[in-house]
């Protein structure tokens, strides 16, 4: 199944018009129409917004698998469960974001300090 059909099907399941979905993900209706008809492929940011809106994985949306879930693999879950944010290597390798905006190194460090302070006062 092509990505366009998946997007259109998900939109129809939610009883949304193209105009409504386009507005919710921040694109034009005509761009959405092109995506749904597989005349154009969405860029990464757009496909991520659509996947997030419908709570499905990008792989599902792009037709790489038939499982719409966003559950990480067991290996990924184990990795994340042992992730220590104060490790500078982790901060250097991964991008931390809030509200879709990347945190600067200083903001990430302040965030970690804030959480520690909150935990110690509890």
What are the pLDDT digits (tens) for 14-62?
999 999 999 999 999 999 999 999 899 999 899 999 999 998 988 888 8
CATH number of the domain enclosing 14? 1.10.260.40
What are the pLDDT digits (tens) for 60-83?
888 877 767 655 566 666 666 666
In-domain check, residue 99: yes
Q: Based on the domain organization, do 93 and 43 belong to the same domain?
A: no
Cβ pair 57, 51 in contact under 8 A: yes
pLDDT band at 118 (very low <50, low <70, confident <90, very high): confident
In-domain check, residue 69: no
Number of domains present in the structure of the chain:
2
In-domain check, residue 68: no
pLDDT band at 1 (very low <50, low <70, confident <90, very high): low
Q: Based on the domain organization, do 78 and 104 belong to the same domain?
A: yes
Q: Based on the domain organization, do 55 and 92 belong to the same domain?
A: no
- Determine the pLDDT at residue 82: 65
- Determine the pLDDT at residue 34: 95
- Determine the pLDDT at residue 33: 96
In-domain check, residue 97: yes
In-domain check, residue 29: yes
Q: Domain range spanning residue 100?
A: 74-120
Asked if pLDDT for residue 110 goes beyond 90, the answer is no
In-domain check, residue 30: yes
What is the 3 state secondary structure string of 31-90? HHHHHHCCCCCCCHHHHHHHHHHHCCCHHHHCCCCCCCCCCCCHHHHHHHHCCCCCCHHH
């Amino acid at each position: 199944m092509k990505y366009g059909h998946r997007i259109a099907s998900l939109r129809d399941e939610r009883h949304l018009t193209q105009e409504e979905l386009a507005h919710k993900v921040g694109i034009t209706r005509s761009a959405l129409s092109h995506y749904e008809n597989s005349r154009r492929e969405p860029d990464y940011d757009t496909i991520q917004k659509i996947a997030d809106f419908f709570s499905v994985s990008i792989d599902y949306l792009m037709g790489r698998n038939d499982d719409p879930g966003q559950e990480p693999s067991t290996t990924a879950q184990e990795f994340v469960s042992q992730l220590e944010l104060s490790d500078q290597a982790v901060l250097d390798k991964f991008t931390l974001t809030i509200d879709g905006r990347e945190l600067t190194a200083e903001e990430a460090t302040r965030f970690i300090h804030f959480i520690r302070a909150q935990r110690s006062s509890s």
